[in-house]
Structure 1
Amino acid sequence: MSYIHGYDPDTLREQIDPRQCKDRLDEIGEQRSLPALLERVWLLKVLGKLDDSLVLSELSVRVARMAGTRKDLLRARILHASVLQIRGAFAAAEQELTTCAYEAEGQNWNGIAAFAYQHRGKVFFESGDFVSARADFKRALFLRQEAGATDDQLESTLLAIDAADRRRSRSSVAS
């Protein structure tokens, strides 16, 4: 079941049903498996509980480092960076996402690399660097196509490219 019902075309943030996400968070409870931790991090993030999300994302990175695979660790680090981004720590998020994207690409894990580029693009987008955001979204689109991504994933990336183009043209007109 997808909890994402779309993306805001101006902010690129997920559009969710808060009640549905709260219910899922209650259902997961205090489970400590890595998949449950990662889902809780994301749910807390989209519900705006950023302090709790940050603490839990740091825990999920530690758990993935101790008991997960390299792919698990990359996913946890990318999610952690997305929490940093929402909190406005753009430089830290960008650095973490860059490292994750390069490592995933080096391993030919295109789906994970695309996930990292998509999120790094959002960091650039929120910080006003629409040229870099567009470049990352384009890279994510290519990698997602290579990985055989779902139509929803491709559509979210195309939306992000379009949003970066619109914002870039608006900012160049205003200059």
Structure 2
Amino acid sequence: MGYIKGYDPDSLRELVDPSECEARLEEIGDQRSLPSMLERVWLLKVLGRLDDALVLADEAVRQARMAGTRKDLIRARVLHATVLQYRRAHAAADHELATCVAEAEGQGWIPIAAFAHQHRGRNAFEAGDYEQARESFKRTLFLRREAGAADSELEAALLAIETVERHRDPVAVNG
């Protein structure tokens, strides 16, 4: 997503320009292709329109299941889980993300596995499960290195690990 300007160092959520996101949402309209639907879900999510995002995420998962590839389905399920995360349904999001991680790793789909681990880590972080968050982010970093990811993707994973460390043991970090 070209709309991500960075990540909040405390919450690890995407930093976006809401007006750019609104303009893109309007531009996409009601396009029915799976990529358009997934982009709309993400835009609705970051704009805080979580009820609309959840309805569309459910629809995108159904469409991916019926007409997409297994990789498409995992991507749709990860995005669905992030909407659950934003709605504070952390246990449901973790369950969905754990199954996505297992399938992607089982199939050897390294970039998709890294993507799923990253989001599982963010969900765990928001839920206060810093051990799970740290484990997921470290796995993200390992998989991204293995896949030859860009430096910016590696830096994002390192930032996430540092953030978790800061929250896990604030005395040792600040101390």
Match runs of 1:1-175 below 5 Å:
2-170=2-170
Quote how far apart the aligned CAs of 1:11 are.
0.4
Q: How far apart are 1:100 and its partner, in Å? A: 0.4
CA RMSD of aligned residues (A): 1.4
The letter for the 2-side match of 1:95 is H
The C-alpha deviation readout for 1:16-69, integer Å capped at 9, x for no partner, is 000111111111010000000000000000000000000000000000001100
1:9 and 1:113 mapped to 2: Cα distance?
Answer: 23
User: Structure 1 segments of 4 or more deviating over 4 A?
Assistant: none
- SS of residue paired to 2:6: strand
Aligned residues: 173
**d(CA) in 1 for partners of 2:55, 2:171:** 36
Matches of 1:13 and 1:63, distance apart in 2: 27
Shift of 1:150: 2.2
Please report how far the alpha carbon of residue 145 of structure 1 lies from its aligned counterpart in structure 2 after TM superposition. Answer: 1.3
- Structure 1: distance between partners of 2:161 and 2:17: 25
Task: State the Cα distance separating 1:171 from its structure 2 match.
Answer: 7.5
CA distance in 2 between counterparts of 1:36 and 1:153 reads: 23
Once the two structures are TM-superposed, the CA of residue 7 in structure 1 deviates from its matched residue by 0.4
Question: In the TM superposition, what is the alpha-carbon distance from 1:83 to its structure 2 partner?
Answer: 0.5
2:169 partner SS: helix
Moved more, 149-158 or 33-42: 149-158
Identity, in percent, stands at 65
Query: What 5-or-longer segments of structure 2 have no aligned partner?
Result: none
- Contiguous gaps of at least 5 residues in structure 1: none
TM-score by length of 2: 0.95
Shift of 1:148: 2.0
The one-letter code matched in structure 2 to 1:52 is: D
Distance 1:50 1:171, change over 3 A: farther
Q: CA–CA distance in 2 between the matches of 1:149 and 1:57? A: 27
